[in-house]
Amino acid sequence: MKINLPYYYLMVQGNNKMFDEIIHTFHNQLSTQVMEIPQPLKKADAGIDLCNTTLSVLKDLIEKEDFENVPDEIEFFKSIKPCPMSYLIYFTEMRSCELRKPKAGDNFQIRFYEKELRKINKFFHKNNDFVHYMEQGHSYMDHQLFTRNHRKNFPFTPMINYYQYPEFSTSHDMLWSKVQAMYRFIHYVRESIQELKPGGRDFTVEKKHKIVLWSGSKTALVELIYALYATGDLNHGTADLATIISSFEDFFNIRLDNTYKTYSEIKARKGTRTKYLQNLVLQLEQKMSRDDKL
């Protein structure tokens, strides 16, 4: 699957802009060319192809032009590379699951999926310290976890499966990618179990919505989530923040990391703090004004 970003186009931009364009294109093709495929195996194959292509583009760019400083290197291996890498692991696990599951018998298949969930729980238990570090938004060990100079000096168990290239890997970017992939895989397994339960297939067909991917910034989505939480308009005010975040992740097929840290950064903004919400109001007002003129 081709990533349509000519290198001569990327060369005129800074590294961050290059990465943004690549990840934007990746998400766009993921939404329009992969997630719409109904057959799980075909979807997995297409997803693996797209992820490998995207990672190859990123790897080539890093080889041609290295990072200007350590913060840029950390940002790449902590936030940018794990995006396609986590989907590669997710689609690989999904494909393996589809190939290994029993071919007949709903009860046999349900037991198989339940065993997969136990494996996922063991993975999270084994890597509990690292998962806690990442999900609490810590950064004090990032120079050890997400730079290549510290590949042999790490405080948590590294992830060594899947592929690694020395100049395109740190000790823990692969493990962080797998953590994100396993969250997606949990949803896949749970939905598969639900479909196999009595009435599950009819419920899924009735309730299933088209894939919608959030294409704005994660910071904007966090701002929107906290606004809805503050209004108390969900579940008559009883929906907790974790539930709301999880629901948005499910609906938009996105992983929101370090939401409290992002919220803290929003609060610390100088001047206008609710930039996205105010832009929403502005855009809606402008649309209504245009509609009035029709």
Domain extent listing, the chain: 7-209, 214-294
The pLDDT tens digits of the residues spanning 109-158 come to 999 999 999 999 999 999 999 988 887 778 899 999 999 886 555 555 54
Give the mean pLDDT of the chain. 83
pLDDT of 10 higher than 80 = no
Which range has the worst mean pLDDT, 113-117, 145-149, 216-220, 251-255? Answer: 251-255
Reported as a pLDDT band with limits 50, 70 and 90, residue 202 is: low
pLDDT value of position 11: 42
pLDDT of residue 273: 94
What are the φ and ψ backbone dihedral angles of 134, each rounded to 5 degrees? -70, -45
**Non-local CB neighbours of 133 within 8 Å, separated by 6+ positions:** 141, 156
| Predicted confidence (pLDDT) at residue 13 exceeds the cutoff of 80 | no
Check whether 88 has a pLDDT greater than 90: yes
Residue 35: which pLDDT band, with cuts at 50, 70 and 90? confident
CA 166 vs CA 64, 81, 171: distances in Å: 15, 14, 10
Rounded Cα gap, residues 154 and 263, in angstroms: 29
Phi, psi (degrees; rounded to nearest 5) at 233 = -85, 0
Residue 143: how many CA atoms within 13 Å on its side-chain side?
4
Residue pair 182/123 in contact (Cβ under 8 Å)? The answer is yes
- pLDDT for 1: 58
pLDDT above 50 (res 240): yes
Query: What's the confidence (pLDDT) of residue 108?
Result: 94
Band of the pLDDT at 99, cuts 50, 70, 90?
very high
pLDDT at residue 160 greater than cutoff 60 = no
How large is the average pLDDT for residues 221-228? 94
Whole-number Cα distances in Å, 217 to 63, 146, 159, 233, 256: 27, 22, 28, 23, 11
Greater confidence, 17 or 196?
196
pLDDT of residue 117: 94
Asked if the model's pLDDT at residue 162 lies above 60, the reply is no
